[in-house]
């Protein structure tokens, strides 16, 4: 069962952290993280924020550890599966600055999206639904324009099992094994990391999580480490049956701040089932960026009420469902009214019912609840 009540996502603008010798270097550029299976059993990642968790969301993050700008024009990346290597060639005039990172997303702008704008430092590989990275195991090779290569493998794919005929330029001496992807989380050289998502934002967002409170509302909280030219956030939401997000509320930002700041918003009317949330950040220049999408599964406990219990003319029904079926029985089990359809907060006229005790049976589409009333 997917754990969707608490999802913490760490987002960084630059990712120059060196993760040890078991990574993949070509001229100072290295593979820093990969997202193999966005639809993990416990964690899910909607990298392109289209509301779907699928192979479009797979990504490879590369970073520049050198002190020089690197021209990535003509560099290549891919695996040893069909179609033949490479799966992606970096466009001309692609430069990565010292300490900077790029996120290569399998298909950031799928055709179903009416509007799609690439954030800074995100490259769209445009590989729609190919399932680029194998969930059980695969190899990823990075090549510069001179043919120098490095590779990483994971899962059941080992460096020594790679056939250079399937992966031209493969260098066994520059291949590292990263282990297994445990639960659909980004994989780093140090192993699985469920709190790491390298989505570049002008606001350094430390965390963004959601939890269902005791009133069946969704409490959203996020924390920034710093903010630059930040006008604020639109908190956006969509239920699973909607195609696009809608704005819930605008929350002012802190303009320019190097101090951490906590934000909170309570969505008081989520729907039954999956509820998707994201932050749309807007700066004073009119630029927008999106956080990752998080999902919360809401189970609405229908505390249906029938009142009054001592009735002269009508009874009312109140609960969380839109429509109810109401039946009236005598205490000896005789059916008086059968499955009368009533909307929430609508009344049922019992003025013609004889005085006495009755059982009101209410069905909300999932469960049946019985109430005893006295007609006078």
**What is the per-residue pLDDT for 12?**
33
Is 170 a residue whose pLDDT tops 80?
A: yes
Residues 6+ apart with CB under 8 A from 83: none
**What is the per-residue pLDDT for 129?**
65
Domain residue extents for the chain: 24-192, 204-298, 305-375
* Cβ atoms of 81 and 138 closer than 8 Å: yes
Q: Which pLDDT band holds residue 39 (cuts at 50, 70, 90)? A: confident
What is the rounded distance in angstroms from the CA atom of residue 106 to the CA atom of residue 270? 31
* Percent of the chain's residues with pLDDT above 90: 28
**What is the per-residue pLDDT for 194?**
65
- Residue for token digits 């990642």? 45
**What is the per-residue pLDDT for 175?**
92
Sequence-ordered strand ranges (E) for 308-367: 310-311, 314-318, 323-330, 335-343, 347-349, 356-363
Distance in Å from the first CA to the final CA of the chain: 50
Is 142 a residue whose pLDDT tops 50?
A: yes
**What is the per-residue pLDDT for 305?**
82
Give the residue, 79 or 255, on which the prediction is more confident. 79
- What's the helix, strand, coil split of the chain in %, to 5? 0, 45, 50
Which whole number is the average pLDDT over 181-193? 69
Give the residue, 355 or 51, on which the prediction is more confident. 355
Least confident span in 146-150, 155-159, 178-182: 178-182
Is 5 a residue whose pLDDT tops 60?
A: no
What is the rounded distance in angstroms from the CA atom of residue 37 to the CA atom of residue 44? 8
For 297-326, the pLDDT digits (tens) are 887 766 788 888 898 888 888 877 778 888
**What is the per-residue pLDDT for 221?**
95
CA 21, chain centre distance (Å): 31
**What is the per-residue pLDDT for 262?**
94
Would the CATH topology of 24-192 be identical to that of 204-298? yes
Is 126 a residue whose pLDDT tops 50?
A: yes
Give the residue, 275 or 203, on which the prediction is more confident. 275
**Range 305-375 has CATH code 1.10.645.10:** no
**What is the per-residue pLDDT for 255?**
85
Query: DSSP character for 365?
Result: S
Which whole number is the average pLDDT over 169-184? 83
Give the mean pLDDT of the chain: 81
**What is the per-residue pLDDT for 53?**
80
Record: fold of 204-298: Immunoglobulin-like (2.60.40)
Record: fold of 24-192: Immunoglobulin-like (2.60.40)
Q: Enter the tokens of residue 258.
A: 């190097």
Is 226 a residue whose pLDDT tops 80?
A: no
Q: Which pLDDT band holds residue 235 (cuts at 50, 70, 90)? A: very high
**What is the per-residue pLDDT for 253?**
93
For 51-101, the pLDDT digits (tens) are 778 888 899 999 888 888 999 999 999 999 888 889 999 999 999 988 788
Is 6 a residue whose pLDDT tops 50?
A: no
**What is the per-residue pLDDT for 7?**
27
State whether residue 318 is helix, strand or coil: strand
* Percent of the chain's residues with pLDDT above 70: 85
Which whole number is the average pLDDT over 367-375? 83
């Amino acid at each position: 069962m997917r754990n969707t009540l608490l999802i913490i996502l760490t987002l960084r603008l630059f990712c120059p952290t060196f993760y040890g010798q078991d990574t993949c270097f070509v001229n100072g550029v290295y593979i820093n993280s990969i997202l193999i299976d966005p639809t993990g059993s416990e964690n899910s990642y909607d990298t392109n924020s289209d509301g779907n968790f699928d192979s479009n969301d797979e990504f490879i993050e590369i970073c520049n550890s050198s002190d020089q700008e690197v021209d990535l024009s003509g560099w290549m990346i891919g695996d040893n599966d069909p179609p033949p290597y490479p799966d992606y060639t970096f466009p001309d005039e692609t430069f990565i600055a010292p300490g900077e990172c790029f996120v290569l997303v399998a298909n950031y702008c799928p055709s179903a999206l009416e509007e799609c704008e690439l954030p800074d430092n995100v490259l769209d590989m445009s590989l729609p639904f190919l399932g680029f990275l194998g969930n059980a195991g695969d190899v990823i090779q990075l090549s510069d324009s001179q043919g120098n290569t490095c590779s990483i493998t994971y899962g059941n794919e080992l460096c020594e099992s790679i056939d250079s005929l399937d992966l031209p330029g493969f260098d066994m001496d520059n291949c590292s094994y990263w282990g297994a992807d445990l639960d659909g989380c980004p994989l780093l050289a140090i192993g699985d990391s469920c709190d790491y998502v390298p989505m570049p934002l002008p606001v350094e967002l430390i965390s963004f999580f959601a939890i269902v409170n005791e009133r069946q509302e969704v409490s959203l909280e996020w924390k920034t480490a710093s903010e630059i030219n930040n006008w604020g956030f639109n908190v956006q939401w969509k239920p699973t049956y909607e195609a696009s997000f809608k704005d819930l509320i605008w929350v002012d930002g802190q303009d320019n701040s190097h101090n951490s700041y906590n934000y909170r918003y309570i969505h008081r009317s989520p729907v039954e089932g999956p509820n998707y949330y994201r932050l749309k950040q807007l700066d004073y220049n009119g630029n927008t960026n999106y956080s990752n999408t998080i999902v919360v599964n809401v189970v609405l406990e229908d505390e249906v009420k029938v009142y009054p219990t001592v009735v002269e003319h009508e009874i009312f029904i109140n609960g969380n469902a839109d429509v109810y079926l109401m039946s009236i029985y005598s205490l000896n089990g005789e059916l008086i009214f059968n499955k009368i359809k009533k909307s929430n907060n609508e009344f049922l006229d019992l003025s013609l019912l004889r005085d006495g005790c009755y059982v009101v049976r209410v069905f909300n589409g999932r469960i049946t609840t019985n109430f005893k009333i006295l007609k006078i």
